[in-house]
């Protein structure tokens, strides 16, 4: 399990002498960085108080806006909350234009601000503008963009400023699961498989396709990856209709499904992903049914009972 999802004992189920330093560095820089800071799972990290040391600039997989109220449509960034179980918010630098068709403001980050001509065609009133910024440098940046787009630059005193919202805020988020996230989750699955069976089996050519997908991005993600599959724990499958969960810890397993070897990965026991490690295994059959639970409260790893995938208490 990547350390961005916590550190656990014993040994975080680390693979020793199975992943070379170059590949390990690549996975950290090119896959796990975005899984931990620009994904649905990154929101769960903050909700559980596992906050990254640095924020990721120019997020493109998680886009959030305030859903209602006077600040409806304002673009916000997620940060660590003040209390466990909460996600904090902060405003992004942006410009809002009143749109007569929706009777409200439409907000744009600097790189997305349209030209004056396009804004007018879309029904925006260029005399009713809200600028949200942190300091004079950001204000000057917005002024330069306005000049480039043919928009008259308002003075600070002319800006319309809504009251800041207080208390809990309803936010709607557009979340994109792209190939980078597919590969990062698949890497967790294959590493777990290698941990269970050892390098002698996991390095065989039966698994070349999934390895090349993870390392180089080769192949169609649909061939290897599935989302929104049933929970790993049998008890959670029964509780799903009540939106209840046995645990909020991470779960991962691997087992046979006919001639295929399948793994399931469920960070924070929320979304459950299915990964096909090998579709048509041609080698000699060997026993394979294993699962582990990473408890985010106790920071321990425990093996799931193979009979029913129950958590060992």
Does any domain span residue 309? no
- Examine the domain organization and report whether 25 and 138 are in the same domain: no
Count of alpha carbons within 13 angstroms of residue 65, beta-carbon side: 16
Round to whole Å and give the CA distance between 297 and 247: 10
- Is 22 part of any domain? yes
Judge if 184 and 158 occupy the same domain.
no
Same domain? For 76 and 155 the reply is yes
Whole-angstrom Cα Rg for the chain: 23
Whether residues 169 and 125 share a domain: the answer is: yes
Q: Is there a single domain that holds both residue 113 and residue 185?
A: no
- Decide: helix, strand or coil at residue 165: coil
Q: Are residues 104 and 145 in the same domain?
A: yes
Chosen domain end from 174, 200, 218: 174
Closest CA to 246 of 268, 264, 227, 229: 268
Which pLDDT score, from 0 to 100, does residue 167 have?
Answer: 79
DSSP code of 32? I
Do 26 and 168 reside in the same domain of the chain? no
pLDDT for the residue numbered 87: 85
- Choosing from 174, 189, 209, the residue where a domain stops is 174
What total number of domains does the chain contain? 2
**CA distances to 114, 118, 153, 238, 242 from 159, in Å:** 19, 21, 10, 53, 47
Angle at 168 between CA 164 and CA 172, to 5 degrees: 90
Starting at the earlier edge strand, list the strands of the sheet with 260-266.
225-226, 273-278, 260-266, 250-257, 289-295, 300-303
The alpha-helical segments, DSSP class H, found in the chain are 21-27, 33-37, 40-47, 116-121, 136-149, 179-197, 199-202, 208-216, 221-224, 234-239
Distance CA 275, CA 254 (A): 9
Q: DSSP secondary-structure letter at 312?
A: P
What does the pLDDT look like over 152-200, one tens digit per residue? Answer: 987 776 676 666 677 788 999 999 999 999 999 999 999 999 999 998 8
Considering only CA atoms, which of 232, 219, 27 is closest in space to residue 207?
219
Instruction: Supply the pLDDT for residue 236.
Output: 84
Q: How far apart are alpha carbons 194 and 81 in whole angstroms?
A: 36
146, part of any domain: yes
- Distance of alpha carbon 116 from alpha carbon 109, whole angstroms: 15
Residues 186 and 293 in one domain: yes
Q: How would you classify the pairing of strands 260-266 and 225-226? A: unpaired
Give the residue among 169, 174, 176, 175 at the shortest CA–CA distance from 72. 169
Distance CA 62, CA 87 (A): 14
Same domain, 298 and 180: yes
Instruction: Say if 56 falls within a structural domain.
Output: no
Evaluate whether residue 92 is within a structural domain: yes
Boundary residue ending a domain (118, 145, 174): 174
Q: What's the confidence (pLDDT) of residue 67?
A: 93
pLDDT for res 242: 66
Q: Looking up tokens 């049933």, which residue turns up?
A: 230
Q: Which domain holds residue 86?
A: 62-174
Instruction: Tell whether 126 and 238 lie within a shared domain.
Output: no
The pLDDT value recorded for residue 52 is: 76
Give domain status of residue 272, yes or no: yes
Averaged pLDDT in 10-residue chunks for the chain of 313 residues: 88 73 88 94 89 78 91 88 80 92 94 96 94 89 95 76 74 94 97 92 94 96 92 83 83 95 96 95 91 94 69 40
Q: What is the pLDDT of residue 305?
A: 79
| 80 shares a domain with 39 | no
**pLDDT at site 310:** 46
DSSP 76-131: EEEEE-SSTT-EEEEEPSEEEEEETTTTEEEEE-GGG---HHHHHHTTEEEEEEEE
Domain assignment present for residue 311? The answer is no
The reported pTM is 0.86
Cα dihedral value 121, 122, 124, 126, nearest 10: -40
CB of 167 within 8 A of CB of 66?
no
Question: Do both 185 and 295 map to the same domain?
Answer: yes
18 within a domain of the structure (yes/no): yes
């Amino acid at each position: 399990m990547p350390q961005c999802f916590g550190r656990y004992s014993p040994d975080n189920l680390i693979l020793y002498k199975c992943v070379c330093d170059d590949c390990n560095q690549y996975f950290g820089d090119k896959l796990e960085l975005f899984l931990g800071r620009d994904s649905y799972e990154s929101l769960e990290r903050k909700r559980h108080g596992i906050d990254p040391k640095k924020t990721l600039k120019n997020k493109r997989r998680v886009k959030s806006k305030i859903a209602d109220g006077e600040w409806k449509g304002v673009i916000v960034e997620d940060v660590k909350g003040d209390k466990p179980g909460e996600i904090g918010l902060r405003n992004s630098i942006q410009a809002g234009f009143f749109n007569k068709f929706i009777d409200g403001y439409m907000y744009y980050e600097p790189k997305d601000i349209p030209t004056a001509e396009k804004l007018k065609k879309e029904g925006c009133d260029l005399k009713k503008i809200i600028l949200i910024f942190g300091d004079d440098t950001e204000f000057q940046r917005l002024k330069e963009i306005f000049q480039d787009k043919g928009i008259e630059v308002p003075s600070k005193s002319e800006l319309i400023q809504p009251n800041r919202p207080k208390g809990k805020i309803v936010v709607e988020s557009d979340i994109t699961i792209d190939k980078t996230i597919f590969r990062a989750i698949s890497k967790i699955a294959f590493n777990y498989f290698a941990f269970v069976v050892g390098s002698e089996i996991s390095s065989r050519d039966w698994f070349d396709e999934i390895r090349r997908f993870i390392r180089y991005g080769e192949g169609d993600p649909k061939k290897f990856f599935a989302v929104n599959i049933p929970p790993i724990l049998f008890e959670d499958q029964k509780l799903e209709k009540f939106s209840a969960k046995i645990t909020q810890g991470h779960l991962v397993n691997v087992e046979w499904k006919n001639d295929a070897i399948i793994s399931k990965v469920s960070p924070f026991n929320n979304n459950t992903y299915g990964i096909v490690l090998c579709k048509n295994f041609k080698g000699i059959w060997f026993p394979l049914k294993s699962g582990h639970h990473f408890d985010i409260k106790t920071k321990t790893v425990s093996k799931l009972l193979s009979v029913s995938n129950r958590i060992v208490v």
